[in-house]
Structure 1
Amino acid sequence: MRILFLLAALAFSAPGHAQMIIAHRGASGERPEHTLAAYERAIDAGADFIEPDLVVTKDLVLVARHENELSDTTDVAAREEFADRRKTKEIDGALVSGWFAEDFTLAELRTLRAKERLTGLRPANARFDGLYQVPTFAEIVALVRAKQAETGRTVGLYPELKHPAFLLQQGIDSVDLFVGALKKEGLDGKAIPLFVQCFEVAPLQRLDRLTDLPLVQLVATTGGPADEAGMSYAEMVTPTGLAHVARYADAIGPDVRMLVGVDGASTGLVEAAHAAGLQVHGWTVRKENAFLPPPLRIGSGEGTKGNYPAAWNILAATGVDALFTDDPALAVGVRRSASR
């Protein structure tokens, strides 16, 4: 009960208006993730940034998928014509079986259709299965430009480079492709604000030399960068580790569970990162009970909407600079309420 009261107190005292809202894979709480529909939904809801995770096709086109393995988010497994493309690959130290973006040309990928990944938690999203193609990075940029022209509101891009070390082993330099795409699209981070994020270190260090864009070192509760054997994320968020990250990055992107303890109080990571000159962009705030701590759940269903405003405000109380969310419309509402 003490924890519940503390969580409630933090929720009502938090400066919820201060955080940038990053639409995690678009409005993925309302539409299948990484589709133009999800990104447009997020922009219309008022998100400050939309986040495309970038993988690469066989013919070297950047496209948006959460992972390079396609079966969780497309209908590829049901396509008989691609049955022989199923493979098992070792990615970042783990064996993964399925169909991979780098084994498909863009034209082949275009024949697939997106589907909801979390059908058990978000059955309503499955209504949109089969409607949308896998978008290219260029199409996402075009959408942002069109929506900015339509609304007069600035919307940022927050791409993540997925598995660049693995792709480099396959002969695909996703960093080089991404820099080329930035130049082709004229993206310098001004007309369209832009952060670039990655869980690996070397790609960000390369980007630090090749661009002037703000860079974000992603960190998780376990493990470490796939391209830095022996380095852990736990070490990277110590004062010494943060000072090292600050040499090439402008922010860290931690799992939100690294920002608050079980009692809802700050772990001190935000303060430590700020002391090192780094912003903190936490991931990911979601509305479903399955993603919320027990005191903030409502009812017993895993997919039932819990106390999202309290979750957002508890995190806001840490002073975090930005938060990723699957539900930007809810986040905008919380921020608007706090600003009043």
Structure 2
Amino acid sequence: MQLVRAERPLVIGHRGAPGYRPEHTRSAYELAFALGADAVEPDVVATRDGVLVLRHENEISGTTDVAKRPEFAAKRTTREVDGKPLTGWFTEDFTWAELSTMRARERLGAIRQSSSSFNDRYPIIRLRDLFALIDTAADEQRRLIRMVAEFKHASHFDALGLPLDELFAAELEEAGWGRGDERLIMESFEPGLLDRLGARGIRGSRIFLIEATGSPYDLVLADGTRATRYDDFVTEAGLLGLADRVDGVSVDKARLIGEPGAAAGAAAAATDASGAPVDRRAAHLPLVGSALVDAAHSAGLEIFTWTLRPENRFLSKGFRRGTARAAYGDWLGEFTLIVGTGVDGIFVDHPDLGVEARDAVFAASASG
């Protein structure tokens, strides 16, 4: 069967379609496919018995009904995750048999009342379940559907004897995806995990996730306060340095729209003490907006961005409308601005809105 391939940018259903259904549920993923997502993004964490499950974090009090389950009350504990103490319930303290009895909840329920109305209806699912869902949807819709697997807290799980790269390789084989192919994209905030996935011969794009601030935790473990900052990776030299290591980067959307002018495609410039413009490339400063996208492409890297959401709570200030946090603002304005920078993929909580924004940019380009 000849599969239809997606246009660019890829519209990636962030944890499925959590704008409409609780994230990481079968219903959220199936809805994402129906709404036209080119790919879906699962967050991957491990159970005590080495099963990869789909949760936003390994701490699950906000995304499941675990706090209401008296049989699991004794498992509430405090752990250090990526150098910070966190209290709650953790996937690594449960077997899959135990987790499979829980029900999913919408993490952003205060904002997403429509999605949270489906709380406690759907069970947690495993990574292997999503492989099967993708295969089925691709066959039914006769198009290529990708998985963008995000590996959460790799160093943390390594220390527990649950290496995510090893467990993932086994899941690929079990699902019939072999060593991976063009359907597979892998991403992590820890570049060392991406290195290990490549060393295992797993095929598929490897994408380095870049936060707005801070440093990758695996580098903090290795280098302490001297750890390379995320900012250092989005200079021209930093992007060139990544080119032989990964296939792309994925940046917080603040790096594309966080500064006036840069996101609109103007020269990405800062100012010095006298107020004179400073070229970020020449000054080896972090790039922003279309200048960042162009530099990534010049280095041979793809560039994605996350997360595009329509509610005022998540929109940049200039695109908010009114004061209600849950109300939709000028989401189309922000989404099309981001698509217009030339990014290769956008992570969205409402896949249909991502498709609409992409279509609007294409239509404007064709008419212009």
Q: TM-score, structure 2 length as denominator?
A: 0.85
Q: Determine which of 295, 305, 311 is the counterpart of 2:318.
A: 295
Q: Give distance in 2, aligned partners of 1:23 and 1:52.
A: 9
Alpha-carbon deviations, 1:278-302, whole Å to 9, x = none?
1101011001001112221122100
For 2:327, which of 304, 308, 314 is the aligned residue? 304
1:214 matched to which residue of 2?
205
Question: For each residue in 1:44-102, what CA deviation from the matched residue of structure 2 results, as whole angstroms up to 9, or x when unmatched?
Answer: 00000000000001111011001000101001011111111011111111111100001
Q: Residue 325 of structure 1 aligns with which residue?
A: 348
Q: 1:240 aligns with which of 237, 241, 248?
A: 237
Q: CA deviation at 1:308?
A: 1.4
- Match of 1:77, as an amino acid? A
Give the distance between the partners of 2:145 and 2:8, measured in 1 at CA.
Answer: 17
CA contact (8 A) 1:18 1:316 kept: no
Given that residues 208 and 248 in structure 1 are in contact (C-alpha distance below 8 angstroms), is that contact kept between their aligned partners in structure 2? no
Q: Number of residues paired by the alignment?
A: 323
Structure 2: unaligned runs, 5 residues or longer: 1-6, 221-226, 266-287, 364-368
Q: Percent identity?
A: 40
Offset, 1:111: 1.0
AA partner of residue 314 (structure 1): L
Preserved CA contact (<8 Å) 2:79 2:86:
yes
Q: What stretches of structure 1 move > 4 A for 4+ residues in a row?
A: none
Cα distance in 2 for partners of 1:258, 1:33 equals: 25
* 1:243 Cα offset (Å): 2.1
Q: Give the equivalent residue in structure 1 for 2:309.
A: 286
Superimposed CA distance per residue, residues 134-157 of structure 1 (whole angstroms, 9 cap, x where no aligned partner): 110111011111111222122110
Q: Is the 8 A contact 1:53 1:66 kept in 2?
A: yes
Query: Which region of structure 1 is more displaced relative to structure 2, 63-72 or 290-299?
Result: 290-299
Find the structure with the greater CA-based Rg: 2
Equivalent in the alignment of 2:283: none
Deviation at 1:233, TM superposition (A): 0.4
Paired residue for 2:228?
231
Distance 2:331 2:292 in 1: 22
Shift of 1:189: 4.2
Residue 315 of structure 1 is aligned with which of 334, 338, 345?
338
Q: Which residue of 2 aligns with 1:193?
A: 183
Distance in structure 1 (CA, Å) of the matches to 2:314 and 2:259:
14
Measured on the aligned residues, the alpha-carbon RMSD in Å equals 1.4
Task: Give the whole-Å Cα distance in 2 for the aligned partners of 1:329 and 1:302.
Answer: 21
Cα distance in 1 for partners of 2:317, 2:228 equals 32
Contiguous gaps of at least 5 residues in structure 1? 1-16
Match of 2:248 in 1: 251
Give the partner amino acid of 2:55. R
